[in-house]
Amino acid sequence: MSKVIAILPGDGIGPEIVREARRVLEVLQKDGLDIAFEDAPLGGAAYDAYGSPYPEFTQNICRRADAVLLGAVGSPQYDNLDRPLRPERGLLAIRKDLNLFANLRPAVLYPELANASTLKPEVVSGLDILIVRELTGDIYFGQPRGISVNENGEREGINTMRYTESEIRRIGHIAFAAAQKRNKKLTSVDKANVLETTELWKEIMTDLNREYPDVTLNHMYVDNAAMQLVKNPKQFDVVVTGNIFGDILSDQASMLTGSIGMLPSASLNETGKGLYEPSHGSAPDIAGQNKANPLATILSAAMLVRYSLNNEQAACRIEKAVGKVLQQGYRTADIAEKGMKIVSCSEMGDAVINAM
Ligand code: IPM
Ligand code: MG
């Protein structure tokens, strides 16, 4: 039976970048990969169609699917909706609904883009970091939350940072196992000097290390980690951290590689089912102009093929093609150096397909 891939274009540049990634997957399909596509809206697009950012229609398709490919959600026109109806809530809801607790965000520098980074080429060349971000807990989901009037009659905003031991353990296992397959170095990022939640996090990571004795574990406070990421990013191999710190550090790490437009991500549950999306947002300012960089989404499709379809060879075929188009000098605006010819989103897609 075909493996079903749910396609969720989302908002902003989502539809354009997902279109290119889908065309890449269709090349594999033509060459014999047994996959089928089902389209569904998420975020603002879903609100427009069904009045909810993660409607039942989309839930049904995504729950049945073997993997989900997502563009991005969010656009200013939805900013004044009630909070539960906003596009971002749709993204959080699908992560929670499919139990996608393990978010893998690789930050790899392609040699051709060393000059596109705002850091000196010698600081970033050869960079290859994997950020493992916990995705279904922490202050993103902790109760109580909300904005209400407190006992002094003043409005107050509340969010709650919390992690259970089992939540920390399961993401820890993913991170240690990933480190074992790489350079066997794991940095756990916390704020244990201030926050008890992350004190527990640190203790459990230390405990887990006994099951992975070949991995060297170190701990870093999040403020220091942010500094070290720009000072000496190549000291990192695998980084494991909670939802909010991972959100921030992964954006930061992405810029080391020249553009956030290059970074894919995978969000996995216990069974390997996953949602794959670029790490960047919906870029409403350039939406609909065929200018966006589709490479992060195309690389997300490669991760989908690797992790949810277990086809390493096909995944590598996509990744090699991306490397090749960069070598050939194809650049969207976000990764172009001065004087280089700029291609559109769809031209970049064409180039990748030709390179395949
Ligand atoms: C991300 C995004 C999301 C997050 C937003 C859009 C809810 O920033 O995937 O990193 O905060 O997780
Ligand atoms: Mg983010």
Q: How far is the CA of 344 from the centre of ligand 2 (A)?
A: 25
Q: Is 140 a catalytic residue?
A: yes
Q: How far is the CA of 146 from the centre of ligand 1 (A)?
A: 18
The kind and range of the H/E element at 307 are helix 295-307
Region class of 335: left (phi > 0), else alpha (psi between -120 and 50), else beta: alpha
Closest CA to 16 of 303, 310, 259, 286: 286
What domains appear along the chain, each with residue ranges and CATH number? 1-101+269-356 (3.40.718.10), 106-263 (3.40.718.10)
Q: Is 251 a catalytic residue?
A: yes
Instruction: State what percent of residues in the chain have pLDDT above 90.
Output: 91
Which residue has its alpha carbon closest to ligand 1 atom 11? 247
Which residue has its alpha carbon closest to ligand 1 atom 8? 247
Q: Ligand 1 pocket check: which of 73, 91, 94, 265 to mutate, most ligand atoms within 8 Å of Cβ?
A: 91
User: In the structure, what pLDDT confidence band is assigned to residue 1 with cuts at 50, 70 and 90?
Assistant: confident
- Can you tell me the distance from the alpha carbon of 85 to that of 55, in angstroms, rounded to the nearest whole number? 10
- Can you tell me the distance from the alpha carbon of 83 to that of 66, in angstroms, rounded to the nearest whole number? 30
Look up the pTM and report it.
Answer: 0.93
Across 229-258, average pLDDT:
94
Q: How far is the CA of 257 from the centre of ligand 2 (A)?
A: 16
Which residue has its alpha carbon closest to ligand 1 atom 12? 247
* Cβ–Cβ < 8 Å for 12, 340: no
Q: Ligand 1 pocket check: which of 8, 83, 88, 92 to mutate, most ligand atoms within 8 Å of Cβ?
A: 88
Closest-approaching ligand to the CA atom of 78: 1
* Cβ–Cβ < 8 Å for 108, 318: no
* Cβ–Cβ < 8 Å for 221, 249: no
Q: How far is the CA of 74 from the centre of ligand 1 (A)?
A: 10
Q: How far is the CA of 147 from the centre of ligand 2 (A)?
A: 22
Which residue has its alpha carbon closest to ligand 1 atom 10? 247
What number does the ligand 1 atom closest to the CA of 247 have?
Answer: 10
Q: 1-20: b or e for each residue (b if 16 or more CB lie within 10 Å)? A: eebbbbbbbbbbbbbbbbbb
- What is the pLDDT at residue 59? 98
User: In the structure, what pLDDT confidence band is assigned to residue 222 with cuts at 50, 70 and 90?
Assistant: very high
- Pairing state between β 102-108 and 155-158: unpaired
Task: Give residue-wise pLDDT tens across range 288-330.
Answer: 999 999 999 999 999 999 999 999 999 999 999 999 999 999 9
Across 331-340, average pLDDT:
89
Task: Give residue-wise pLDDT tens across range 146-196.
Answer: 999 999 999 999 999 999 999 999 999 999 999 999 999 999 999 999 999
What number does the ligand 1 atom closest to the CA of 92 have?
Answer: 7
Q: How far is the CA of 247 from the centre of ligand 1 (A)?
A: 6
Instruction: State what percent of residues in the chain have pLDDT above 70.
Output: 100
Closest-approaching ligand to the CA atom of 86: 1
Which residue has its alpha carbon closest to ligand 1 atom 7? 88
Which residue among 31, 223, 231, 320 is the active-site one?
Answer: 223
Looking at the predicted structure, is the pLDDT value of residue 116 above 90?
A: no
Task: Give residue-wise pLDDT tens across range 32-56.
Answer: 999 999 999 999 999 999 999 999 9
Q: Is 34 a catalytic residue?
A: no
What number does the ligand 1 atom closest to the CA of 277 have?
Answer: 9
Q: What is the mean pLDDT of the chain?
A: 96
Looking at the predicted structure, is the pLDDT value of residue 274 above 90?
A: yes
- What is the pLDDT at residue 247? 95
Tokens describing residue 5: 């891939």
Closest-approaching ligand to the CA atom of 141: 1
Closest-approaching ligand to the CA atom of 74: 1
- What is the pLDDT at residue 114? 84
What number does the ligand 1 atom closest to the CA of 251 have?
Answer: 10
